[in-house]
Amino acid sequence: MSNMTPLYATGFFFVRESGLVEQIIIFNYHDPLCEYKSIVEDEKKLVEEKSLLVRNMQFYLDQEEVIINGERAYPRVVDVEVGFQGDFKYPYILFIIVFRGVFKEGLNIYEDKYESEIAEYDYRVYWFFPPKARVLTAQLGVPYRLLDKCRVLVFEVKKGTKIGGYERIEFEMGK
């Protein structure tokens, strides 16, 4: 959409003991001409738009190299939702993404290698680890905080920040 401006994004990663990682990303936009309203009101256009959104997001995910404990993981878009935040001028796009790794008791390492870039909008990311897991350290290129006895990791990126192209989270899984 040509007149839509990205405002903010929020990402949520839910790490399961089974090795499943469920990811939700919400992109918030300003759409002054309400272009998305006309798409959502037309079922055929909405199906086409959602298909395009899935293909585009999957393209970017395929460019990344996600590694869990030395083994490659493959994030996949499983669904997308389009909606509005109280006004047709403020649409959001929500992606549901999943991938799987093999976790073990003790030290585990998540890595993500991707092309470095300049952030086009502010965003915040939350990682939720299982109750008996603890984040030990992270390399994200930006400061981070640990909450809830070090099992929740949070970081923010401001518009204009150079994103380094590499993330690493070391965490411990307990019994």
Give the start-to-end residue ranges of the domains of the chain. 5-173
The reply to whether CATH 2.30.29 applies to domain 5-173 is: no
Residue 1 has pLDDT above 60, yes or no: no
DSSP secondary structure of 106-175: EEEEEEEE---EE-SSEEEEEEE--TTEEEEEEE-SS-EEEETTTTEEEEEE-TTPEE-SEEEEEEEE--
172 within 8 A of 150, measured Cβ to Cβ: no
Kind and range of the H or E run holding 8:
strand 5-15
pTM higher than the cut 0.85 = yes
pLDDT in tens, 96-118: 999 999 999 999 999 999 999 99
Q: How confident is the model at residue 2 (pLDDT cuts 50, 70, 90)?
A: low
Number of helices (H) and strands (E) in the chain: give both, helices first.
2, 14
